Amino acid sequence: MAHHRVRPGSHVRLARFDPDDTGGHESEEAAREKLASDIERLVKVQDALYADSRHAVLIVLQGLDTAGKDGTVKHVMSGLNPSACEVVPFKVPTPEEAAHDFLWRAHRAAPRLGHITIFNRSHYEDVLVPRVHRTVPRKVVKARYEQINAFERILTDNGTLILKFFLHISKAEQARRLRERLADPSKNWKFNLNDVAERKLWSHYTVAYEKLLGHCSTDYAPWYVVPANKKWYRNLFVAQTLRRALEDLRPKYPPPALSAAQRKKVRI
């Protein structure tokens, strides 16, 4: 998985990453047991993280339309304790959000100590959409890369672990998923004509992602390019990366409020 972690300052070319990669797993069945094990361990380490309350965790999910941001949340995070886990969707800014600096809504949604917060899309929308649609000058977008890095540095310096996942799908796979949304009554509600319009800008979004990945993958807040054509491998990749990172934090349960002798005397 190390080769999917973007090196700081690297010149990223998404064409070098195979969206069909499955990490050597031959099938979904071959990976299912590993995924179940990772999710089980995630649940346990999250419990300790919550009790410990020395660290927070911010997970950023980005990707082109149909890349599987909702699916990743559903299949990887669904076992986590909802008392200490929040999902924050980033849509078009509200009037209040638009009246502040572009990072305001991200900072106010950042996780509390002991909590895991998932950004479904994120503050990175403010260097993607403006670049593609040319709604702000290019020099403003360039300045925002450094502002984002500084913002994420503040979070990490104050105990937040940041993991950022770009869910990488092919243009052909996106077309297949869009057609599926049209054909499946249970998925019709997901289809939006704007997705078709944005699809015409595929190459522009590719360049925009390459720029932000190269500028904003840091040692303290790394980006991972996740092969996402196979949904099951996407889920396994994210689960394994998250589980390992949380275990590296070594969260510990706080000492008991009562000594062993005092606990023996308690009568309930």
Domains and CATH numbers, the chain: 2-253 (3.40.50.300)
Q: What is the pLDDT of residue 2?
A: 74
Q: What is the pLDDT of residue 177?
A: 96
The amino acid present at 14, given as its one-letter code, is: L
**How far, in Å, CA of 198 to CA of 200, rounded?**
5
pLDDT of 61 higher than 80: yes
Banded model confidence at residue 201, pLDDT cuts 50, 70, 90: very high
Q: What is the pLDDT of residue 32?
A: 92
- pTM score, whole prediction: 0.95
pLDDT tens per residue across span 137-165:
999 999 999 999 999 999 999 999 999 99
Banded model confidence at residue 79, pLDDT cuts 50, 70, 90: confident
**How far, in Å, CA of 145 to CA of 104, rounded?**
15
**How far, in Å, CA of 244 to CA of 145, rounded?**
27
How far does the chain reach from its first CA to its final CA, in angstroms?
51
Q: What is the pLDDT of residue 82?
A: 93
- DSSP states along 215-236: HH--SSS-EEEEE-SSHHHHHH
Are 167 and 226 a contacting pair, CB within 8 Å? yes
Q: What is the pLDDT of residue 50?
A: 97
Residue 146 burial class via C-beta count within 10 angstroms: exposed 0-12, middle 13-18, buried 19 and up: exposed
Q: What is the pLDDT of residue 78?
A: 81
How many residues in the chain? 268
